[in-house]
Structure 1
Amino acid sequence: MFSPLAHDDPHSLGPYRLIARLGGGGMGTVYLARSATGRTAALKTMHARIATDPASRTRLRLETDAARVIGPVHGARVFDADPHAETPWLATEYVLGPPLDDAVALTGPLPEPTVRALGTLLCAALAQLHASEVVHRDLKPSNIMVTADGPKVIDLGIARAIGDDRLTRTGTAAGTPAFMSPEQATGQEHTSAGDVFALAGVLTYAAAGHGPFGTGQHADLMYRVRHAEPDLTGVPAALVPVLIACLGKDPATRPTTTELADRLNGGQRDFSAGLPEPLLLEIARRAGSVWHARTHRLPAPVHHALAETVPVGEPTSPSTLSRRKLLKFGGSSAFAAAAVGAGAWAWLGRREGSPPDDSGAKSPEKPAWDLVWQAETSYTDPRVPPAPLVLDGLLLVGEHGVQGLDPVTGEAKWPDPEVYFMRRTATDGKKLYAADHTLDEAGPLTVATVDPATGKIDAPFGEIKDLRAALHETQLLCATREAVFLAAGRGPDTDSGFHKDQTWFLLAVDTRTGKELWRVPLPARPHGSERLHFLSARAVGEYLVLVQQSADGEPRLAVHDAQTGKALWNRPLDGEQSPFSRAHLAVDDRYVYPSAGELVALGLADGREAWRFEGRTPGALFSPATVDDGVVYAVEEGRGMVALDAASGTERWAEKNRVVTAEDLDTPPVVGIAHVYSKGASGLMASDMRTGAVSRPFKAAKARYFAHVSAKRLIAIGDEYTAAYPLA
């Protein structure tokens, strides 16, 4: 699966260090790569001779755009790209699963229910493209990766907007002859109906082990595609009429993706349940091999000019990664590529003797793709956990260039917002506040409200004359109706990071008068440090609850008097979870429930332990907790969701023997209207708030989740997208 690097392969591209070769062709090479933060990616590059052609660079840019359109649920999530670099490159999620042609070669034709489920999910993927007026144009088994969560469509290198022929010469065919449509074979326009034709060919391959028009020379294949009847030998009889309709020579007679999905009727609850055992083992093997991959570079040939200077070996990642070590990184995007692999191991464990999940799960009442909308957003700042701001009728997302979205539809409500940095923005649930976003080098720090309809910043209501607006590490931490709380400073400005001559404070500003209520000094940061002072903050009644970050990155739970700023108590948030996981704050009017692997209630006034829940197994780890309406929810290692009385810590209900992976313990449950949601191996689990019965799993992206109750939307935040699912 991995090949050594060649002696003249780059050592790195952008922020990614190359580890191994995944494949290559006439256009370029695909590498396994890893960033300095540990994010693993498939990095696609373009050969130097190809990169001199402007049209080829345009193709890479269009491929990047199409990959973002299909999104992270149905495709490989786009991490980054630089089509203008000397060696153009595109970095995407490394999908943990084999391509469909390898899967069929390994196990033989797939069972009919699995083919139906595969086709239904691929219809959803194509519908996502077609809704944006984009067609794939090269759908084939090798471009479909089979994961435990479902298929992912990759390699959109010749995807185009419908009607766009700028990069296709008239009368020529672009695509793979064995799976292209008749109109594509004659150089005519390829519409969404052409993708349906290709999908039918893919499903024929999955069900019978061969394509509908055989193999051979390109000219022979293209003739058969245009004139011959498809060969459906070996296809289950019930699928034959469905595929025949899709393989019609006239595009107008083919069903749409929606109609095809209805005819396939493949909405089975658990895609992995239909995968043959050898295929699940292969998915799991690939998941493990990522972390065993070592960098190996072939030496330059003898007498080669670089033979004496190119290193043979490079630093490598550890060859093994325990489940508990994975917990340290699961909360950041650094190890996002391991998500599918963790799920694969969980499914295998269940098949090989784990107790069945009898928690009340039922067949899904809706199709497996539950996505309501998806918007392209960016969370590129690794210093603070990605999170939206939620107001009635408005959702704020994105770290830079903050977007205001309609939470019901995902449509942009701010055409040209002035709000720029999310870390300088806060809400009390009704009003929206922003610290100065102009970054005026000479100006004092100001605080203003923001017009929720336009994203425009109103006239400042508060001005702190001795603190500077231009300091990049300024944070507007949280807000109440009475005050906004900030981390702000004075001293020389830098492009980024702290300066040794800066002085920083935690302070509060009255939202009615604009007067400063109090300030307390903050510890000095080392010169050049880019770690922000705080990871999260909540103001509850008389208390300001903070997750404060030390210069070395370790978080502490700190509570101040919200009226005076007086420090009341603090304690370290030691644990194996990532700092982002430990930064989650679960607070009610009496207690704070630290997010550090344990389930404990601490008094807000003094930090004393009020109760501790040990769980079914002493020493078990817990996800970050969520508290709502007197109930604390958390996911317990090896057990599933538990619900506790917030006052006493007594158990109200617990799930029964749900498979819990390391990744499932990384994010807190989300409380909806009648259900509480948590991450699970087969998707996002929805548990009845009264009984804990799991009503249905959601087919949902790996992300951080938040509830927008008034809009009835479950909001997913990823590095490069925001998505919404139904909230019940």
Structure 2
Amino acid sequence: MSGPLLPTDPASIGGHRLLARLGAGGMGVVYLGRTEAGTLAAVKVIQAEYADEPDFRARFRREVAAARRVTSPWAVPVTGADPDAAAPWLATAFVPGPSLGEAVVGHGPLPVRSVRVLGRMLAAALREVHAVGLVHRDVKPANVLLAVDGPRLIDFGIARAADETAITSTDLVVGTPGFLSPEQAEARGAALGPASDIFSLGCLLAYAVSGRPPFGTGAVDALLYRTVHDEPDLEGIEADEDTGTDLLTLLHLCLAKDPADRPTAEQICTVLLAEDAVPKGGPIDWLPDDVVRGIADRSAEMLALPDIEPTVADAPGDAEPASPGRRRLLMASGAALLLAAGSTAAWAVLRDDDTPGTSASPTRHWAIGVQADLSGPQRTAGQAQERGARLAVEQYNSRRNKPFTLTVKTADDGGSDVRAPAAAEKLIQDADVLAVLGPSNNETAVKVLPAYDGAFLPLLSVSSGALLLTSAEHRSYLQCRPSDALMSFPLAVRLAQRKGTRLPGLIQDRTAQTYSWDCAQGTTLLLRGYGIPPYPRVIPANTRNVKPVVTDMLRAGIDSFIYAGYAQG
């Protein structure tokens, strides 16, 4: 999905007239651009604050070099780049279709035949990637764009040469949990070869045919554990013996725990899926009709380009959506904070363009939503946030000559990720709600973020701090606090400054799910950077007798102790 350019965005980059934003996150922003010849391109630009950092610039140079070396009809080609510019950029051919992930979510799992052809074409792309000595390292549904003539593998941002020393730490897990290999899950940097991409391809194909990742969903550490130790969930995937090597067998081969037991991309193309060869120059009938219609609709939407001159945020005469202020509020996330605090400055953002600013104007009524755990295990925090919102609104409404009034509307999700989507939908469907505070924990936030994104409804969180919430590209999410990993860094710094620290003990309590994982990972990485790696132990969720673990840690000679878990633990 594309969005309008922001006032701070440049008008052009490297000879490309910028038309819209395609996404933002990580190293920079991706724009939809058009060359002087009229060719469309996806232009990735490094953010200014990172451009002067040697590590980021080196990573971007590596991405450009990696992408230029891959030539395959099923990999998006590079059309231009300047990694040494003041604002380094990379342009690739623009593919207007949806990602594989969007197609599966919108239309359901693909038929077996479609998945076989998909596997054949992606294996051909990986064959070219591996032939030039590269490993992609992030083969996942979001990095596969669908077109009627076949898929396109994108994003070589974390690809690197198989014999190259990684810029990132060897102890850092790189990739997307649920679609990474056991080697990646265990951060075995030196062991990441082409076979790692084949495992990820197996995960992707299993997702495409079943609609679910083969190692489930949930907390990151649980996903990594299942990837390394458990068998994949391939239930319901039918064998298709009439077509040679059936898909189920192929998946088992790709998802072998031992990299040496997996097929190569060349073997998949020439032996295992040889009968699914793609015709040269002819049409490819490989997708079901509803997906093809979805691709056409998405392409038409993406290609409905704005006028070149001038670039404006709100063109005169455009039809207003049902809740105009909601869209405008999203244009400046800071306005959501001002509104939540009861500031009249937000009126300049929210008022209708044709509403006179006089005392005779009718009073507008808006609402702040609060989605929180108001009745469950974290109700103390949830109720405190509700009271804070009501106090701010009360103070604002007591002002004289205010241009609009505010109310608070609540949605209790009980701290449950099962109840969270319904609570979010209640606030999303209320046209008076301009922004939402919450939810109360990481698990509920993960469940509702896509819905708030789709509704362009700002979501401001003061409780959730999981890294995975900010690692993805969300258009409407603002995390109003440091992440859990960053908040744990001072513990490592304190130990590093303490004389005599040699062996810190570290307990990760899985009762705290994502919170404990982020805290443990952040602390571990920093301690290792100081040259004092911890002695780690993991406690299964809801464990009450921790004496054996503590005894083991004391026997190992720990001289300090860190607990990664909730306060109750």
User: When the two structures are superposed, what TM-score results if normalisation uses the length of structure 2?
Assistant: 0.51
Q: CA deviation at 1:17?
A: 1.2
Give the 5 Å matches for 1:280-299: 280-294=292-306, 296-298=311-313
Between the aligned partners of 1:56 and 1:5, the Cα distance in structure 2 is 24
Give the 5 Å matches for 1:45-84: 45-71=45-71, 73-84=73-84
Check if 1:278 corresponds to 2:286: no
Q: Report the CA distance shift for 1:291/1:137 in structure 2 as closer, same or farther (over 3 A).
A: closer
SS, match of residue 6 in structure 1: coil
Contact 1:245 1:253 in 2 (8 A): yes
Q: Report the CA distance shift for 1:75/1:297 in structure 2 as closer, same or farther (over 3 A).
A: farther
SS, match of residue 146 in structure 1: strand
Contact 1:150 1:271 in 2 (8 A): no
Partner of 1:226: 228
Contact 1:106 1:278 in 2 (8 A): no
Q: What is the one-letter code of the residue matched to 1:218?
A: V
Partner of 2:277: 267
SS, match of residue 70 in structure 1: coil
Runs (5+) with no aligned partner, structure 1: 313-728
Contact 1:108 1:209 in 2 (8 A): yes
Give the 5 Å matches for 1:187-198: 187-188=187-188, 189-198=191-200
Contact 1:149 1:271 in 2 (8 A): yes
Q: CA deviation at 1:72?
A: 5.2
SS, match of residue 56 in structure 1: helix
Q: CA deviation at 1:278?
A: 2.0
Contact 2:72 2:128 in 1 (8 A): no
Between the aligned partners of 2:170 and 2:299, the Cα distance in structure 1 is 43
Between the aligned partners of 2:172 and 2:301, the Cα distance in structure 1 is 41
Contact 1:213 1:224 in 2 (8 A): yes
Alpha-carbon displacement from aligned partner over 1:632-674 (angstroms, at most 9, x marks no partner): xxxxxxxxxxxxxxxxxxxxxxxxxxxxxxxxxxxxxxxxxxx
Q: What is the one-letter code of the residue matched to 1:234?
A: G
Partner of 2:108: 108
SS, match of residue 33 in structure 1: strand
Contact 1:173 1:185 in 2 (8 A): yes
Partner of 2:250: 242
Give the 5 Å matches for 1:391-410: none
Partner of 1:255: 263
Between the aligned partners of 2:292 and 2:266, the Cα distance in structure 1 is 29
Q: CA deviation at 1:268?
A: 5.2
Partner of 1:37: 37
Between the aligned partners of 1:58 and 1:99, the Cα distance in structure 2 is 28
Partner of 1:14: 14
Give the 5 Å matches for 1:712-727: none
Between the aligned partners of 1:198 and 1:223, the Cα distance in structure 2 is 16
Runs (5+) with no aligned partner, structure 2: 240-245, 315-330, 336-343, 354-569
Partner of 2:152: 152
**Pairs aligned (count):** 307
Q: Report the CA distance shift for 1:271/1:179 in structure 2 as closer, same or farther (over 3 A).
A: farther
Partner of 1:546: none
Give the 5 Å matches for 1:515-530: none
Alpha-carbon displacement from aligned partner over 1:19-40 (angstroms, at most 9, x marks no partner): 1111111321111111222121
SS, match of residue 98 in structure 1: coil
Alpha-carbon displacement from aligned partner over 1:551-601 (angstroms, at most 9, x marks no partner): xxxxxxxxxxxxxxxxxxxxxxxxxxxxxxxxxxxxxxxxxxxxxxxxxxx
Give the 5 Å matches for 1:262-341: 262-264=271-273, 265-267=275-277, 269=279, 272-294=284-306, 296-298=311-313
Q: CA deviation at 1:287?
A: 3.6
Contact 2:121 2:151 in 1 (8 A): yes
Identity of aligned pairs, percent?
Answer: 44
SS, match of residue 205 in structure 2: helix
Between the aligned partners of 2:193 and 2:52, the Cα distance in structure 1 is 30
Between the aligned partners of 1:290 and 1:180, the Cα distance in structure 2 is 30
Between the aligned partners of 1:217 and 1:49, the Cα distance in structure 2 is 31
Between the aligned partners of 1:72 and 1:163, the Cα distance in structure 2 is 22
Between the aligned partners of 1:111 and 1:166, the Cα distance in structure 2 is 38
Q: Report the CA distance shift for 1:135/1:271 in structure 2 as closer, same or farther (over 3 A).
A: farther
Q: What is the one-letter code of the residue matched to 2:272?
A: R
Contact 2:72 2:125 in 1 (8 A): no
Larger helix share, 1 or 2:
2
Contact 2:5 2:21 in 1 (8 A): yes
Q: CA deviation at 1:290?
A: 4.6
Q: CA deviation at 1:240?
A: 1.6
Between the aligned partners of 1:290 and 1:174, the Cα distance in structure 2 is 31
Contact 2:96 2:303 in 1 (8 A): no
Between the aligned partners of 1:291 and 1:112, the Cα distance in structure 2 is 31
- Which one has the largest radius of gyration? 1
Q: What is the one-letter code of the residue matched to 1:138?
A: D
Q: CA deviation at 1:281?
A: 1.8
Contact 1:57 1:83 in 2 (8 A): yes
Between the aligned partners of 1:249 and 1:33, the Cα distance in structure 2 is 42
SS, match of residue 274 in structure 1: coil
Partner of 1:631: none
Q: What is the one-letter code of the residue matched to 1:21?
A: R
Contact 1:139 1:179 in 2 (8 A): yes
Contact 2:72 2:124 in 1 (8 A): no
Larger strand share, 1 or 2:
1
Contact 1:117 1:271 in 2 (8 A): no
Contact 2:210 2:237 in 1 (8 A): yes
Partner of 1:217: 219
Between the aligned partners of 2:39 and 2:233, the Cα distance in structure 1 is 44
Contact 1:207 1:236 in 2 (8 A): no
Between the aligned partners of 2:312 and 2:223, the Cα distance in structure 1 is 40
Alpha-carbon displacement from aligned partner over 1:80-129 (angstroms, at most 9, x marks no partner): 11112222111110013211101112221111111111101111101101
Q: CA deviation at 1:224?
A: 0.9
Q: What is the one-letter code of the residue matched to 1:44?
A: K
Give the 5 Å matches for 1:357-436: none
Q: CA deviation at 1:282?
A: 2.6
Q: What is the one-letter code of the residue matched to 1:278?
A: D
Q: Report the CA distance shift for 1:249/1:228 in structure 2 as closer, same or farther (over 3 A).
A: same
Contact 1:207 1:234 in 2 (8 A): no
Contact 2:64 2:83 in 1 (8 A): no
Q: CA deviation at 1:260?
A: 2.3
Q: CA deviation at 1:234?
A: 2.8
Q: CA deviation at 1:291?
A: 4.1
Give the 5 Å matches for 1:602-617: none
Q: CA deviation at 1:53?
A: 1.5
Partner of 1:452: none
Q: What is the one-letter code of the residue matched to 2:36?
A: A
Partner of 2:209: 207
Between the aligned partners of 2:58 and 2:18, the Cα distance in structure 1 is 24
Contact 1:74 1:125 in 2 (8 A): yes
Stretches (4+) displaced over 6 A: 299-304
Q: What is the one-letter code of the residue matched to 1:254?
A: R
Contact 2:121 2:278 in 1 (8 A): no
Between the aligned partners of 1:97 and 1:286, the Cα distance in structure 2 is 6
SS, match of residue 179 in structure 1: coil
SS, match of residue 91 in structure 2: strand
Contact 2:2 2:302 in 1 (8 A): no
